[in-house]
Amino acid sequence: MKERSLGSTGVKVSPIGLGCWALGGNSYGNIRDEESLGALETAWDSGANFYDTADVYGEGHSENLIGKFLKGKPRDKIFVATKAGWDFYPADRKPFQRAADASGKISHAGHHKNFEPAYLRFACEQSLRRLGTEAIDLYQLHNPSLEQIQRGEAVGVLEKLKKEGKIRFLGISVHTEAEALAAIEDPRMEALQVIFNLLDQRMKEKVFSEAQRKRVGILAREPLASGLLTGKYAPSHEFPKNDHRRRWNAEKREIDWKKIRLLQDVLKDQNISLQQAALEYILAFEAVTVVIPGAKTPAQVTGNLQASAAPRLTAETVLALRELYGNELVFKQGLIPR
Ligand SMILES: NC(=O)c1ccc[n+]([C@@H]2O[C@H](COP(=O)([O-])OP(=O)(O)OC[C@H]3O[C@@H](n4cnc5c(N)ncnc54)[C@H](OP(=O)(O)O)[C@@H]3O)[C@@H](O)[C@H]2O)c1
């Protein structure tokens, strides 16, 4: 795989990495650790060297598995990105009081947002321990609010951790265009993680060009729209209890399904699956450094890495997919949260 530069960091990484949320084991249905470790090894054997996780994925479990996988590997050839900001630690594990978050936001799993300096320092030490590494390659703030981004205090903590050698680069993962633009206003920002896929292309309007201009690397997350872009989840599909997709909005699922059928129609004579086209479409954007499809099994990893090994999307098809998003009525029905 031809590597791409991560913004101004001077680091090059594989354009397809591995998203490791599902490996946490409590958000994407049942998953076995042997399969997860197999997925990590398959990615590495196939030339992927970028792994994205977060401390909260399985409350440390995803990071623990990555720590196991890193053992005995050439550490300087593997790029590990993790995140902090969702506080899942029991109160008695922390050497300080929890400060109430201004947004008061609580995740579906009951975790609180926490970007307090003392908490971020504590969380970083815990991630270093679980990953069994001296430094985290990319440390990202995990979904801070617009106000928290604008305040810049949490980035200041990451800057100090960088000076101390605990992290190599700093970044942020956000939801909205306004948050993304505010994040890259900060000259200290080195990487920006955003949702970008065939069903949600908001970031290509302003954020991509601004990030390129400011030399901030882009990580494209949820590239398969959490699995929808495999075409295997019709609205009638029921997800198990331990799967976050169970909470998807029924109306939005119907709309997304119509979009998927339109996309499949564009691709019908192209000899490429929707899932691989979804990844190749993202790679067609120069602003994107790395796309991080989540995968639970070695077979899924292999399927995703085939996307860059044999690019098959023609410029005409890329344009057709782009126009479909911009012009087709069903794509304009708003982005109701899933
Ligand atoms: N706030 C944040 O910062 C945030 C939020 C979300 C994600 N992320 C990051 O982005 C990464 C990617 O997002 P995601 O994992 O949520 O969603 P995704 O990559 O869009 O979709 C992952 C799902 O697609 C299906 N899949 C993947 N490869 C496949 C293949 N080859 N064949 C068939 N099905 C396949 C699997 O579904 P099944 O499990 O149903 O088989 C898998 O769980 C995450 O792992 C995480 O690192 C970050």
- 225 CA distance to ligand 1 centroid (A)? 7
- 97 CA distance to ligand 1 centroid (A)? 34
pTM: 0.95
Q: What CA–CA distances, in Å, run from 55 to 120, 131, 135, 250, 283?
A: 11, 10, 15, 30, 27
- The answer to whether residue 73 scores a pLDDT higher than 50 is yes
Of the listed ranges 50-59, 91-100, 159-168, 198-207, the least confidently predicted one is 91-100
Query: pLDDT value at position 329?
Result: 80
- The answer to whether residue 338 scores a pLDDT higher than 70 is no
For ligand 1, whether the C-beta of 231 sits within 6 Å is no
Query: pLDDT value at position 331?
Result: 85
For ligand 1, whether the C-beta of 21 sits within 6 Å is yes
Ligand 1 atom index nearest CA of 20: 45
Domains of the chain: 4-332 (3.20.20.100)
Ligand 1, atom 36, residue with closest C-alpha: 227
Query: pLDDT value at position 95?
Result: 66
How confident is the model over 4-24, as a mean pLDDT?
A: 98
Query: pLDDT value at position 271?
Result: 86
For ligand 1, whether the C-beta of 51 sits within 6 Å is no
- 150 CA distance to ligand 1 centroid (A)? 29
Ligand 1, atom 3, residue with closest C-alpha: 173
**Residue of 55, 300, 308 to test ligand 1 pocket, by largest number of atoms within 8 Å of CB:** 300
Is residue 169 within 8 Å of 139, Cβ to Cβ? yes
How confident is the model over 205-220, as a mean pLDDT?
A: 97
Q: How far is CA 305 from the centre of its chain?
A: 16
For ligand 1, whether the C-beta of 81 sits within 6 Å is no
- 28 CA distance to ligand 1 centroid (A)? 9
For ligand 1, whether the C-beta of 224 sits within 6 Å is yes
Angle value at C-alpha 118, between 113 and 123, nearest 5 degrees: 65
Ligand 1 atom index nearest CA of 52: 47
**Residue of 62, 65, 221 to test ligand 1 pocket, by largest number of atoms within 8 Å of CB:** 221
- The answer to whether residue 336 scores a pLDDT higher than 70 is no
- The answer to whether residue 99 scores a pLDDT higher than 70 is no
Query: pLDDT value at position 109?
Result: 73
Ligand 1, atom 39, residue with closest C-alpha: 28
Ligand 1, atom 32, residue with closest C-alpha: 300
pLDDT in tens, 117-138: 999 999 999 999 999 999 999 9
Query: How high does pLDDT run on average in the chain?
Result: 93
For ligand 1, whether the C-beta of 50 sits within 6 Å is no
- The answer to whether residue 102 scores a pLDDT higher than 50 is no
pLDDT in tens, 235-287: 999 999 999 999 999 999 999 999 999 999 999 988 899 999 999 999 999 99
For ligand 1, whether the C-beta of 317 sits within 6 Å is no
- 290 CA distance to ligand 1 centroid (A)? 14
CB atoms within 10 A of CB 133: 19
